[in-house]
Every structure is written in structure tokens, then in C-alpha cells.
Structure 1
């Protein structure tokens, strides 16, 4: 850890700061909206010229930020760019670039490394740098800090460095950036205080962590907790079906207990930018550094990753009950995003399910009010692009089996009344509905 040198870094430079947000996706864009509204002078930096041009023209590319909001922040002085020269003028730089898993399951820090090197070349004295990209404990100090110090500035002397895990929940209408508590941990106490002061200028509650590693671990604990509990109910769904037990009713009963229980629900698999990925950062770190497995995470991953295949087998069973084979049958998938009521398809379990059904010979079709064209191969293969069914009523009539994968509000307003549906989300009722 860098030696603390209190008083050498200005810890109160927060009012109306010049801020650069690196990465203008689902994390960076909603974050900078609140910064602009708080009076900060914000520049968005992204390597995608298409994203930058779209934002500067007043068009948003994510669900949670509409075009009207982009117009609002543009009028307040926001602009976006692909030119990293803006770093030199920043009081604060917030890094929100993606950290996916590589093919071998290790964290891919390529984007973080690229930004770190860019900052090392351009940072000026007395700048606060905050990494928000989810990663394994130790990344900020062991990996990122040497990169940002490459230009000669030193954390604790003339540079502040902190980690603050993103807690964005796309589509959540109750908790957004401002009212979701923000965890912050700095390399030094001065770094922590500088970051706390900055975030407190536009977020209601800021929580100080002991250091960067604790802040990094907090995010992994949050999502590992969810990952493992989802795996628990997914496994219970399998044997409950075999035992003739309605697990959905079981959960409804259990959640009446006012303490000691939190309801989790089964589904066709896990998706999104956090749950399928973040726990693996922790598992990989434990294995790489301590040389033993994090068995809870690995088992949860095995269970959750197996759900699309299990759903495919249940679909096969349903067709068999109707005297039909999977091969040649039309399977209509309703909702291919990873979460209800948004267009985000990242890591959606609909992808492996569709691939499995196609391998079994099914004619796979989909309907989703938020997705017009879907790449079910998830590898950019133009031959695998599927065009969504535009007319839900006719698509329902033509299908041999209808599978609800995502509980979009459009499917819950009576549109599926009287239709035989295999419901993987437990949200439909009626004699024609079969739940997971």
C-alpha cells in the first residue's frame, strides 16, 4: 500500500469539478447524468465514435437514460469525445469500462489496462481517479495504480486513487444512482475522503470502506450471494418438479416469515453484466492466489449454467406429452433479454437455450417487445440473426409450444390469457400454464 502523506493532496476540491467519465455504457452514462445535474462540468470519453456521435446528437443508447435526459445534460454543457486529451484538464476521472471474462474464465482486464496506460500518459497533479469497473480484490493497487503512476505522479503525494463498485440495476424504477448507497475505498485515507466528498455531491449516501480491497470485495460478495441463492432455488426447482411439489407456492409460503429469509426465484438461467460474471472473479482469485477452489461459487455456476439445458429438456417433455417431437416443432420464445422490461441482452440465458433447441432440430422463433433483431449465436454471425415476430397473436397460433423466458409487462396484461405457456418465471396463472 502506498504510504500516506496527509495534507499533500487537496481533499476538498469537489464543487463544480471538471470530470471525465471513461466508458459511456450502462454504468458510465447514468452516473454522469447525476454529476451534470449536481453542477459538475462533465466530459464523456469513449472509444466508440458511434456512441460519441449519437450522444452529441442527443440520442441515448441505453434503457435507463432517455433522449430527453441527453438533451437536458447537453444543454447544461455535457459533451462526449473520443479524444483522450481531455484527461489533462480533469479534476476527477471516473473509469467505467467493461471487465468481462476471458475464454479461460479469468478476468479480462484489457480495457482497464488500456485506460490505465492512457491516464499514466495524461494525468496532471492533484487529480482524483476512481475505478468503478468490477474486478478482483487487489486490482486497484496492484494492477491499476502502477499504470496511472507511470507518468511520474504518485498516489498519496500528488494523485488520489480509489475504487467504488458500480451498483447499477438497469430498469429499476425505485433505486437509481442518486438513492443507491455508494461504497468508496481509497488507497490512502486522504484518497478515500476525496472520493467520498466527490460522490457525496450527487449521491445521497456514501459509505467509506477500509480500503480499495474491501470496496472491491464488497461488490463480489453482493453478487456472489445472489448467484448462490439463485442456484439453490434452481436446483430445488428440478427435484421439486420430480417430487410433484409446487416450488413457487413453497417460496410464497416461506417468504411470509418476517425474519431470516429472503425470497429468490428459479428461472431459465442467470444473465446480465454481474451475476454470471462477478462471482467468477472471486473464484479465479482464490484459485490463482491460494490454490484451492471456491466451491460454493463453482457449484453455483454449474447449476445455473445448466438451467438452459434443463429448460430444453422440459420443453421436449411438454412436446412429447402432446405427441410431438422437438425436431420440426416451432418453439416460440417470449422475451430474450436478461431482465424484464429492458432491451439489455448481455449474457441472456435465452442464447444457450436457443442454441440447444436448434441443435435438437426445433424451429426457434422469438418475440420480444424490446428486441427487433436477435443474434442467438451471440458471436456476431450474421447468418444467425433472428428477426422477431411482429404479430404476437399470430406467432402464438403458429407455435407448437410457447415458452415465457422473461416477464415483460407486455406479457402480463392479458395477452397470454388462455394460451398454453411453459412459464419459466412463475408469473402466469391458469389451467393452461405449466411452470418451471
Structure 2
């Protein structure tokens, strides 16, 4: 039975099912189909399924034409019918793992998905969790749910964890070009999962257990969060000292060893870096330990939107204006440049803080034409991206740069705006009108 699955993977006859058709799932499907596999895509959101079936893409860097061709040739079958999970030989879970209101892990999506798999699980299937989560999740949460099927992991079916490492919009590293860490429930599960990913990904890195693979992803993102917190803290100090932190970083990164450049900003964004360190802090408390270093970094990064608004208040005050009643346009709703992904974008926290202070808000984002409804910011009103005409820019008391999209002509923006608050050093090359630029 196990050899049969290995042979199907080797011959690319195995059907790969991906649960979660978002920023991780769709690139993964593209990687497998481009390497000769037939894929099924599962999502509880019928709207997403319908758009794919209609030849539309809801993610900017996923080519709609290519997806449409895969569907036409039956190489990709999107569906919201979870009862069809038994049609897949290999099932990969790519569902969200957010934090709840108390910053504890919300595993409801993983648990619900595991229940759907358990309801249809058959002998010979491989199940791989890719969703970022804390160590022990696969063994302690997913495994007991799958056990309700009456099948035994490592004998009847196979179980592994392989953390997603997708970087949306990165032109250098696509899903198939990023090494995959793989940890299995048992040696055979590891072997089969490695065989599957080796067929579509440049490099596979097997590790000794599920927990090592889970901990690997948490380490990667905690490393980034801690270092970003460091430069954010230095930024606040250097601002008071009249030192440009961006110039400091540019000078420091000329050292060819022992230093990696990280950059400050208005807050963390994306699904991983703002969230993953809190998984580890939560887990540490369960074991009676403290992750003081990580928690301090979280406090600093979480404080950054408040710091930006404080600086904005100072700059407006210099002009004799309060935040209340001032017209503020935020540039960028996506969490990073040149993508359409708004998950955990600091822009939404900035908007919340500005609304609390009575500002009149607007925004522009060439990649996010309508402000999506966000889980943690349900009270933000519906908004549409405003065209950056000279008249519109001149009518704003301040233009706040939250995301430095390449599409922005910052010389043009500075020329027509009254005041530009730059949180990303996006205006560094602007020569004329520098008296109107403030950094935060």
C-alpha cells in the first residue's frame, strides 16, 4: 500500500489535493501542476471557487489565464465539496491560523479541516499540514481528529508537517524555488512527503520529527520579528537624537559579515511575522516558561502604529492643526509593497487610531481598489481607493506613506501634497519639496 503511493508519486499519477485556495494554496497548485501532477483545490469559500471556474484570479501574482487553462484541461479542479477529499492521494492543508482577541492561537480552521479529512480518509492517503502553527499541533491536535476515522497513522495513512514559506509577490522565489522542510509522523510518512515535494520543489530538507519542522517555521519568523523590533526601537531613539536610522542601516550593511539589514516601519504585516512569535509565547506559558525576549519584541512592534500617530500629531501641531478634523490619506492598504495582500496590514491599525482621534480618512492602493473587511477591524467603514490627482493631494492635510508601492511617483506626490509623513523612507530620492516631508 505504501509502495503503491510512492510509485504513484514517482510516476506523477498521484492526485494532489490542496485545502485553502489563498496566497499559499494557489502557488502550491501551480508548482505541482507545472511538474505534471493533477491537482484538486478545496475551499469553503464558494466565491473563490466560482471565480477560478470562471477563469478569474483574485490574487495579483497568480495568472488567471494559466489557471483557466489548467481547469480546461482538467489538470486543476477547484471545488467547495469536501466530501471529494478521498479523490486525492495526497492532501495538503493550507488554511489560516490567526490569533484570537487574547492573542492565543485560533486553530479552528485546522480543526475543521481535519474533521473534513477524517470523514473521508481512506487507506493509502498522505496528509500534510502546511499551516504555520506552534510545535506539537500536528501530533496533539490533527492526529487525534484523524484517528476518529478508525485508521492508524503510519500504517493505514501517512502524516507530515511541511511549513509554508511563501513570500507573496517575490519575483525571485516562487513556491517551487523555495526549499521545503519536511517532518513526518514516522519514517515512512517522512519518506513519502519528501518524495511528493521533491517532484515539484527545488530542494527538500527532511528533519527528524513533526515538531522540528513546526519549530523551524516559528524560528524563521521570530528571528525576523525580533530584528525588526530592534530597528524599530533604535528608530524611536535615533529620531529623538536627530539621527536618520535609514542612513545608519545603509552604512551598517556595508559590513560584509556579521550584519543583516532589517528595516523599521509603521508596524508588522502579513500572516506570519506579526503572529508566529505569539504562538511560541503561548506555548511557553503552557510549559511554565517565559519568552521575555520575544514578548518584548512583540510589544515594540505592536506599539509602532501608535508611535506613528503620535509623530503625526506633532507634525500637524507644528502647522497649527489638530488630528481631529484633519484630512489624512494613507498610501497603501497591502502589508508590503507591490502585492494585493492586506492581511495584518498596519494600515488598518493606523486607520483605527486616526478614526478614534477624529481624522477624516481616505486611502489609495493601486493593488487594493476596495478596502476589505478585516477580522480585527470590523468597525472600519467601506472605502474605495482614491485617485491621486493634484487636486486630491492638495486637499489633504497629510499624506501618510504606509506601503511604498513601486507604482507611486513620490516626487509627484510630494510636489502636490501639503505634508507627507513617510514611514518607509520611500521619499529618500525626492529632491524638490523636502521641507514638506517628515519621517516617522
| TM-score, with structure 1 as normaliser | 0.94
Pick one of 22, 46, 51 that aligns with 2:48: 51
Taking the aligned partners of 1:236 and 1:159, their CA distance within structure 2 comes to: 51
Counterpart position of 1:334: 331
Taking the aligned partners of 1:383 and 1:252, their CA distance within structure 2 comes to: 37
1:214 is aligned to 2:218: no
Counterpart position of 1:3: none
* Secondary structure of the corresponding residue to residue 205 of structure 2: strand
Counterpart position of 2:420: 421
* Secondary structure of the corresponding residue to residue 130 of structure 1: strand
Instruction: Report the Cα offset of residue 379 of structure 1.
Output: 5.5
| 2:400–2:422 CA contact under 8 A, matched in 1 | yes
| 1:375–1:381 CA contact under 8 A, matched in 2 | no
Q: Deviations over 1:50-79 (max 9, x none)?
A: 111111111111122121121232133111
227 and 22 in structure 1: CA distance in 2 versus 1, 3 angstrom threshold: same
Taking the aligned partners of 2:247 and 2:388, their CA distance within structure 1 comes to: 33
Pick one of 15, 32, 37 that aligns with 1:35: 32
Pick one of 153, 156, 159 that aligns with 2:157: 159
Taking the aligned partners of 1:371 and 1:407, their CA distance within structure 2 comes to: 14
| TM-score, with structure 2 as normaliser | 0.94
Structure 1: give runs of 5+ residues left out of the alignment. 1-5
Instruction: Report the Cα offset of residue 372 of structure 1.
Output: 2.2
RMSD (Å) for aligned C-alpha atoms? 1.8
Instruction: Report the Cα offset of residue 337 of structure 1.
Output: 1.4
1:229 is aligned to 2:227: yes
Instruction: Report the Cα offset of residue 402 of structure 1.
Output: 1.4
1:435 is aligned to 2:439: yes
Q: In the TM superposition, what are the counterparts of 1:268-347 in structure 2 within 5 Å?
A: 268-288=266-286, 290-347=287-344
Instruction: Report the Cα offset of residue 395 of structure 1.
Output: 2.1
Q: How many pairs were matched up?
A: 430
Instruction: Report the Cα offset of residue 203 of structure 1.
Output: 0.7
Taking the aligned partners of 2:224 and 2:177, their CA distance within structure 1 comes to: 21
Q: Deviations over 1:64-102 (max 9, x none)?
A: 212112123213311111112222222111111111111
375 and 153 in structure 1: CA distance in 2 versus 1, 3 angstrom threshold: closer
Counterpart position of 1:122: 120
* Secondary structure of the corresponding residue to residue 383 of structure 2: strand
Taking the aligned partners of 2:85 and 2:355, their CA distance within structure 1 comes to: 48
| 1:11–1:191 CA contact under 8 A, matched in 2 | no
| 1:33–1:73 CA contact under 8 A, matched in 2 | no
Instruction: Report the Cα offset of residue 38 of structure 1.
Output: 1.3
Q: In the TM superposition, what are the counterparts of 1:6-405 in structure 2 within 5 Å?
A: 10-14=5-9, 15-77=12-74, 78-288=76-286, 290-374=287-371, 381=378, 384-405=381-402
Taking the aligned partners of 1:37 and 1:8, their CA distance within structure 2 comes to: 24
Instruction: Report the Cα offset of residue 415 of structure 1.
Output: 3.0
Instruction: Report the Cα offset of residue 122 of structure 1.
Output: 0.8
Instruction: Report the Cα offset of residue 427 of structure 1.
Output: 2.2
Q: Deviations over 1:263-311 (max 9, x none)?
A: 00110000111111111111110111x2222111211111111111110
